A and B are shown apart, each in its own frame.
Chain A
Amino acid sequence: MKGTKNQHPALQFTGNWFIDAGILGFVNLMEEVYGWDLEELQKKIKENEDVLYYWYFPIGYICHVVKEIQIKEGLEKIEQINNIIDKIPKVPQFTNKNDLFEKAWKWITSNKLLITEAKRGKSTITRIKINWSGRYRILTNFPLFQPGYDIERQKNIFMSLLGLKEIEDNVLIHIDKTTSKFLPSASDFLNISYTKSCINIYTLVSLNTRAPVFILTYPLAFISKLLEYLGYQIMFYSPDLIFTYKVNKKLKIYLNKLKKLKIYLNKLSEEKKQKTIFKITWWSIIDSITELESLWSLENMYLIKIKPPKGQKQDLEMVEYIGIPKLQASILFEDKIRNVLNTQFEIGKEEGKEEGKEKGKDKNRDRNRDKTDGNKTIWLLEEFVKRTFVYDKLLKHTNWALKCGENPKFKASLYALAIDARIKENAETSSKALFSNDFFREYKFLVDEIKETYSLLVSRAILISQLFENEEEKSKLAYPLFSALKKKNRISFVNTLLKKFTELSKKENLSSLIKFIFENIISNDVSWENYALALIIGILTSRGGENGGEIHEE
């Protein structure tokens, strides 16, 4: 992967997010049990892979699953399992990987705390004390966790997952909901009426030879404990292991800080919860971008959010993938653009049903609110990443500025308009193929174009503001222009503007503006609104307002 220091890391992502989640879960498991971070783990795997997979992993995994059960059973029980984890012995002498696994299994079965006896009908069976507790809840029905399986059967399954035995269990061969809760069950695969799931273990193994191991660890990729009270789990995913690992670690730190600051997410409305999580994800990503500049892969990123099943249910209650595509990521890579987008914008009160209801109830309170009170703010970066057309939000922001007599955010607005315009124009002119040349060139040309467009918008916004001396005249002009723009009426917009131009006594620099209007508003059917809004922002920004004119050239 581009920019990675280590050319052949022992563990690396495959591009299949499900296996990659398992790899991340594996790293998290080893860190939680043995305290090895990713770098250390990579070193250890390189030194001796067998030791990791046939000794440390089986012992660590079973201890970890048991610990998840013990957590529910009180402090004393947690201490007991912690004592066992502390006493995990170093690797014994071994002849081959089977021998090493046998020794690991012997150590596991020799620990009474890891073993349990269960009644099955009239007989009693001995089994490893594992079940779908805590973070492993998502593995409901997975063979290893089946309460009816005795220790021998559990051992066989573990060995087949480690590649020490042929996989016999059909459930493990044809991957369906039993293995991954993100898939339907075998009978629900609608398009396959004559065979079982097309995704089989061999497909996964062809992507990564350790894939069966990672099926066991994928639940640990999700951040759950810090979000337990919200009922869902999240995972940040990018196709680069180091970047994903770092961002998820940062996310945990931020979530922890939130908890310590007693800003409990559960007190917030559902909308605010979503926003807070989105924001802290982005803080984490931005932090990691700064730290890992050379490793920043500029690949597609996702935030995967799940609600694990509850009670007797087996289905995930919710799965949500929030994509952050390469085009947006390429633009965000630019420090300057990222900083500008990292801005809060007032967009006025939301027009909607809820407000309508509130209005009826609380008319007096609304009347008493000052001009900024109760205004909704948006985080530009979030809107950008969510791929909503930022233009609509900026239109609302300008409307708010117009109504309140405030200055719109000049620099950020124009940058955002330039980005939005260039994305629209690029979508119109570029190849419609998913993997076009632009995709592989990482859209670098687009960043240059955005900067050029921004400079143009700034200079023309300043020019138009200098044409009018009278503040009242500016406000009077801004209203009909805004109204025309809101209705997407280009004729009315240009008409109003040109009539005003003919009335002007001083016509210096008018030719630059006329050229701008011709090139970008009249001849441009794709993004003319962006350029038109830039002119309105130029007219509005120079008005007094509380913050004074913030107009300035770069």
Chain B
Amino acid sequence: MEEKFTKNKKWKYQKIMKEMEEIFQDISANYSQKLVYNLLNAIKFNNQREFFWEVLRVLNTKSKEAGKVADLCKDIGSLYPLSSSEFEKVAFSIILGIISAQGGEQNE
């Protein structure tokens, strides 16, 4: 039961990462780097408020991807409330999604 629950959560983190990657496909390298830096610093101090403030602020500008952003917010919301260990996982999934978007762009 516990294993199933963990696997289910892992699948959700994976989904969040994938959604972030898709939403941030067209972000510039410089902006991405700055954003990742800010987010990493927020994780470092376990500052959930600052982290999500920054994420939601950027997501709010993605009006073209409104559908995907809504899905992502729903997925993040379903995990609430987050323990510090869960926050760590969600936050890194979000950041890895942003970096993946950059990596993918370079590969293409």
Contacts and interface: CB of A to CB of B under 8 A. Distances in A.
A522 B93 contact: yes
A217 to B, nearest CB: 50
A514 B96 CA distance: 6
A514 B18 CA distance: 12
B37 A499 contact: yes
A357 interface: no
Contact of B92 (A494, A501, A503): A494
B72 interface: no
A322 interface: no
Nearest to A506: B106
Given A511-B100, A523-B10, A498 B95 contact: yes
A503 B99 CA distance: 11
A495 B102 CA distance: 17
B14 interface: yes
A499 B40 contact: yes
Nearest to B35: A502
B107 interface: yes
A490 interface: yes
A522 B44 contact: no
B13 interface: yes
Given A522-B93, A525-B85, A503 B100 contact: no
Contacts of A503: 33
Interface string B20-52: 000000000000110011001001101000000
Contacts of A511: 100, 103-104, 107
A518 B88 contact: no
A317 interface: no
Contacts of B106: 506-508, 510
Contact of B103 (A510, A518, A523): A510
B93 A518 contact: yes
Interface residues of A, number: 22
Contact of B100 (A499, A508, A514): A514
A498 B40 contact: yes
Interface string A103-135: 000000000000000000000000000000000
A517 B107 CA distance: 19
Interface of A: 429, 490-492, 494-495, 498-499, 501-503, 506-508, 510-511, 514, 517-518, 522-523, 525
A491 B102 CA distance: 21
Interface of B is mostly: helix
Contacts of B10: 523
- Quick one: which of A495, A503, A511 has the most chain B CB within 10 A? A511
Contact of B44 (A492, A501, A506): A492
A490 to B, nearest CB: 7
A328 B54 CA distance: 49
Interface in B54-95: 85, 88-89, 92-93, 95
A502 B43 contact: no
A157 to B, nearest CB: 60
Given A494-B92, A514-B96, A518-B92, A507 B103 contact: yes
Given A429-B3, A495-B40, A525-B85, A518 B96 contact: yes
A510 B13 contact: no
A162 to B, nearest CB: 57
18 contacts: A491-B46, A495-B40, A495-B43, A495-B44, A499-B37, A501-B99, A503-B33, A508-B103, A508-B106, A510-B99, A510-B100, A510-B106, A511-B100, A511-B103, A518-B17, A518-B92, A522-B96, A523-B10
A495 B38 CA distance: 11
A499 B35 CA distance: 11
B103 A522 contact: no
B92 A507 contact: no
A414 to B, nearest CB: 23
Closest 4 CB pairs of A and B: A510-B103, A507-B106, A507-B103, A502-B33
Contact of B88 (A490, A499, A508): A490
Contacts of B13: 518, 522-523
Nearest to B14: A518
A501 B10 CA distance: 23
A514 B107 CA distance: 14
A424 to B, nearest CB: 15
A490 B87 CA distance: 13
B102 A507 contact: yes
- Quick one: which of B13, B43, B103, B104 has the most chain A CB within 10 A? B103
A490 B91 CA distance: 13
